A = this chain, B = another copy of it.
């Protein structure tokens, strides 16, 4: 059970007008038929190749055998099917072997793949991210020799940032790269939390590794980026002997078990060859480009997991007979399906709000990325870039938090059965708990958003966001079914504006205090943004000329929109009041008072 096609089509075509993107030169070869065909094969591969082993790769997780990673064989078959259909390369340039699909379409496909088997999908999305980094900042040779084989499914890629002693604190990394006379580098050090760090899916793995070149500036300004193939890659592009990268261990996780997560040791024998990517000491800057895409990817994975849980819970609720409606006293009346119970409906509708709202948020970011990528006017491009930078921590974090809540309620709908490993909802819940943690923790994104992004260049990005929200508000005011929500959103927007001003003012006096509740700010701004995307969905639903078969679909969208505005958006009021009070209780409690 994957994300329903009806909602995907609604969001991609009715809300976000994917076909409109075909007016851009980059996408001018495409049309609705092409997009439909891509989505068709997405569902086919997701259902036939991904979903069938989602449970199996959780139970029989990758393990270390003779220093290498062993996985269940279905993994390789899925990898082949995915790459034969060119999904790794889907959004890349035609000259690199890609299909030049809009990111809006490829993100939608990754939502479907992720809802079928998120753990397996990671191998390919990491590879695409690494290839993108090499294409953006590497040499022509690296593009041809490393990136293109990655897009073709011959190689995979990883991101190697963290080290065992310093998770989020990249300034403290110890990996070293020493320049050799021939211009190459010899790399030494350990990396931790490397997803896809070793496996036999492809001919080799290209690790993109952050390391320091001795003599560089201290801290993050002394970090460089290196491409480190697990095996040497010959001049002719064939794969040669191994490159002194040792699989030092596998991390055993609560969930997301189908993605192997490794500790890697580089250069134990002093012969680990690394290629510098771009300029020395610019590694973190380059990596951030990949991380930003990866962060939106994390948000989509969180959505996919939450959505999969919702779909399972809904199917169960429609089939499981149990109990009788409130007030029905006759114990001999037949039981009703639990979808008829008010509290089950409330839980389903909350899930629907969160997962469809999260999907709307992330797809919106994908469309912005398309617009940014294709913008020809420098000012417009910059403005889109700033808006995306502002939305990235939200697109990563909001789904991590609220689609996990959806998974929690999906278990609840199934009751005791939901708590057993016989149903997928517990696995989805375990999987989704990762998303607050990787690619920057929830707390770090809060600091990034409140401490930096909302005030960059005098707050231009937040103003641009507010202008877009206001535009939707004005449209919605004209519709009686949405006017109440439009008013609520305008009020919330004004309130977070005021709150942001107070916090920005406090930053200059006592930044620690101003940022003490940055995570709550992140969640609250996220709620406003998602409310906006619900209003946009509401507008699309009211615009739709519903054929009878679709009438309930649109009624459901309007109900979910209303639910978000009545149950979710008001939750931020006390939080914003708290933020304005600059409460410092957590900072001032004595350390030994915990």
Binding site for B on A (CB under 8 A): 162, 166-169, 171-172, 192-193, 218-220, 251-255, 314, 318, 322-327, 331-332, 335, 339, 341-349, 352, 404, 408, 411-412, 415-422, 426, 429-430, 433-434, 436-438, 441-443, 446-447, 451, 511-512, 515-519, 552-553, 555-557, 559-560, 562-563, 566-567, 570-571, 573-575, 577-578, 581, 583, 585-594
Contact = CB atoms under 8 A, between A and B. Distances in A.
A144 to B, nearest CB: 35
Given A168-B415, A331-B220, A339 B591 contact: yes
Nearest to A192: B416
A512 B585 CA distance: 42
Contact of A571 (B322, B332, B571): B571
6 contacts: A167-B322, A168-B323, A169-B323, A172-B322, A253-B420, A254-B420
B419 A437 contact: yes
Contacts of A219: 331-332
A342 B578 contact: no
A517 B346 contact: yes
A438 B416 contact: yes
Contacts of A517: 346
- In the complex, which of the residues A220, A451, A516 has the most CB atoms of chain B within 10 Å of its own CB atom? A516
A437 B421 contact: no
A565 to B, nearest CB: 10
A82 to B, nearest CB: 26
Contact of A590 (B343, B556, B567): B556
A251 B443 contact: no
Given A339-B591, A556-B589, 17 more contacts: A166-B335, A171-B331, A220-B331, A254-B421, A318-B591, A326-B511, A326-B515, A343-B516, A343-B518, A345-B587, A408-B433, A411-B437, A412-B436, A412-B441, A560-B589, A566-B581, A567-B583
Contact of A559 (B326, B562, B585): B585
Nearest to A556: B593
A283 B443 CA distance: 51
A517 to B, nearest CB: 7
B515 A342 contact: yes
Contact of A325 (B332, B347, B512): B512
- In the complex, which of the residues A346, A436, A571 has the most CB atoms of chain B within 10 Å of its own CB atom? A346
A577 B593 CA distance: 35
Contact of A172 (B335, B518, B592): B335
Contacts of A567: 578, 583, 585
Contact of A331 (B218, B436, B573): B218
Copies of this subunit: 2
A586 B326 CA distance: 14
A428 to B, nearest CB: 11
A481 to B, nearest CB: 13
Contact of A420 (B252, B552, B590): B252
A543 B556 CA distance: 55
Contacts of A511: 326-327
B437 A342 contact: no
A512 B343 contact: no
A563 to B, nearest CB: 5
A408 to B, nearest CB: 7
A169 B335 contact: yes
B559 A589 contact: yes
Contact of A411 (B325, B332, B433): B433
Nearest to A222: B331
Contacts of A570: 574, 577-578
A343 B446 contact: yes
A586 B342 contact: yes
Contacts of A167: 322, 415-417
Nearest to A257: B421
Contact of A586 (B193, B220, B345): B345
A578 B568 CA distance: 10
A322 B585 CA distance: 22
Contacts of A516: 342-343, 345-346
A251 B586 contact: no
A523 B253 CA distance: 31
Given A422-B252, A552-B590, A594-B314, A166 B585 contact: no
Contacts of A162: 416
Given A429-B433, A570-B578, A349 B168 contact: no
A553 B314 CA distance: 47
A443 B344 contact: yes
A423 to B, nearest CB: 10
Given A420-B254, A433-B411, A588-B559, A451 B553 contact: no
